[in-house]
Structure 1
Amino acid sequence: MQTNPTFTSLVTVGDSFTEGMSDLLPDGSYRGWADLLAARMAARSPGFRYANLAVRGKLIGQIVDEQVPVAAAMGADVITLVGGLNDTLRPKCDMGRVRALLTEAVERLAPNCKQLVLMRSPGRQGPVLERFRPRMEALFAVVDDLAARHGAVVVDLYGAPSLSDPRLWDVDRLHLTAEGHRRVAEAVWQSLGHDAEDADWRTPPPASLPPGWMLRRTADVRFARQHLLPWIGRRLTGRSSGDGRPAKRPELLPYEGPLGGPLD
């Protein structure tokens, strides 16, 4: 791959991970790794354009139906696709169907951009991940295979020790903190051929004393009440946190930073 290439446009496709949860801005919206990456790319390319089609909660079938045709038609220099993880977390998941849909997405996107970027999504330590790990790793095997066949770049976030550290995950235990998103942006930046701005993004934060037993139990109860039970309720009723929600940045337009402010 070319070193320090100049790209003029970026389109991102996916779910809450790409939308930017839980990198919260003062106005209540989310920033996230894709916005941070766009800011870096825009600083190198005047008139740089960016669209973020991601919507939280979307399954790979919804991504293929709702986002992939739009992204393909935009003809951006770089397209990122991260999807399928929400499917693996459902009680019933047809991995054959997930593979077929991911294949369809890649086959439609790869010819319509200069560089397609796929990812092995990060996963934090803990018992919830252990239950779904076989499905996740089956998903990542599909990603690796598709990348090899279609010339896509794979960003290995799953293998990064820093992104399995619970301190880089929000209290909902499903989404990265601002620091986690910063590291993902750095990982994609380097994978696109740019010089490292943080060569140690894979290294976890310095060790710290773990919280005491009482604090851990209090956090577990709060997590179950505020996040786990509502999540289970949506799974059982077939609802999604993204129902009725529009894409974050639905048009491929010049990027001027969050809220039109300075680039971060």
Structure 2
Amino acid sequence: MEINATYNSLVAVGDSFTEGMSDLRPDGSYRGWADVLAGRLAARTPGFRYANLAVRGKLIGQIVEEQVALAAGMKADVVTLVGGLNDTLRPKVDMVRVKDLLTEAVEHLTPSCGQLVLMRSPGRNGPVLDRFRPRMEELFAHIDELAARHGALVVDLYGAPVLADPRMWDVDRLHLTADGHRRVAEAVWQTLGLAREHDWQEPLPATARPGWMTRRTADARFAREHLGPWIGRRLTGRSSGDGRPPKRPELLPYETRSEV
């Protein structure tokens, strides 16, 4: 049953997860779950408008400073806010400050939009998640509290086993594949009370585990192409989003693309 079949506008706020990495289009741009969701909403609502303010690498403080007021001013029917996970992955983090900033964002956005949507972000199974799991779960518990206090919806991606499957993650081990983004879009769609189109939690088919050599080759490629550069940026205080503008900074009518 559809709770509300009509949404006229969507604003997405966040970091690389909402920007759409690593869901590449044929032209080299990123699509991502927010674009997929916008395309589906636009297909059913003439004149539907969409803005995506997300920029890769942003910490919650930067999201609050650079995106929240802009999003609030757009007065959209739906605003999605996903942030704070980049903070939890830093070697040192002040979780009290992270939670305070997230609270500030929610308190600013809630009265300005029709419906605020928060997320418990997905996490890939492996040693990285195990190391940072306590911080992530502290963040997610706070998200649940904020949602209950302010009437926001929460999409629980962290609790979905299929999104922890390593096959759902790109070679950088930080961002979902195109199928992962498609599933996230469906999860948000259903959370908004729209009729289910597919089972976003359906497990991937069982396959044999890759051999030792295949796994070591993948580990070496990951370290060379992704882990090393990521560590380098942390050591020099740089971010992959430095100087990069939002992918869709204005709330404008959304034209669907054929690959969406």
2:241 — aligned with what?
A: 242
Give the letter for the 1:91 counterpart. P
Alignment pair present for 1:101 and 2:101:
yes
The residue type equivalent to 1:26 in the other structure is P
Distance in 2, Cα, partners of 1:2 & 1:256: 24
How do 1:1-264 residues align onto structure 2 when only pairs under 5 Å count? 3-198=3-198, 200-257=199-256, 261-262=257-258, 264=260
Question: Separation in 2 of the partners of 1:235 and 1:144?
Answer: 29
AA partner of residue 235 (structure 2):
L
Residues 32-82 of structure 1, C-alpha deviations (whole Å, 9 max, x = no match)? 000000011111110000000000000000000000010000000000000
TM-aligned CA deviation for residue 4 of structure 1: 4.1
Cα contact 1:256–1:262 (8 A) shared by 2: no
CA distance in 2, matches of 1:131, 1:256: 42
**Normalization by structure 2: what TM-score?**
0.98
The one-letter code sitting in structure 2 at the alignment partner of 1:178 is A
Q: TM-score, normalised by structure 1?
A: 0.97
Give yes or no for contact 1:161–1:203 (8 Å, CA) kept in 2: no
Q: Report if the CA contact (8 A) 2:2-2:195 is conserved.
A: no
Q: Percent identity?
A: 78
Shift in alpha-carbon separation, 1:197–1:2, aligned structure 2, 3 A? closer
How much has 1:2 moved relative to structure 2?
A: 5.9
CA-to-partner distance for each residue in 1:202-253, whole Å, 9 max, x for gaps?
A: 1221101111110100000000010001101111111100000000100000
Find the aligned partners of 2:2 and 2:213 in 1 and give their Cα distance.
Answer: 52
**Distance in 1 of aligned mates of 2:128 and 2:251:** 37
Contact 1:63–1:83 at 8 Å: present in 2 too? yes
Instruction: Report how many aligned residue pairs link the two structures.
Output: 260
1:204 partner SS = coil
Large movers: runs of 4+ above 2 Å? 261-264
* Structure 1: distance between partners of 2:226 and 2:126: 16
Distance in 1 between residues matched to 2:186 and 2:83, nearest whole Å: 20
SS of 1:7 mapped into structure 2: coil
1:89-115: CA deviations, max 9, x gaps? Answer: 001100000011000000000001110
Tell me which amino acid in the other structure corresponds to 1:15.
Answer: D
CA distance in 1, matches of 2:222, 2:9: 38
Cα separation, 2, equivalents of 1:237 and 1:114: 40
Classify the secondary structure of the residue corresponding to 2:10: strand
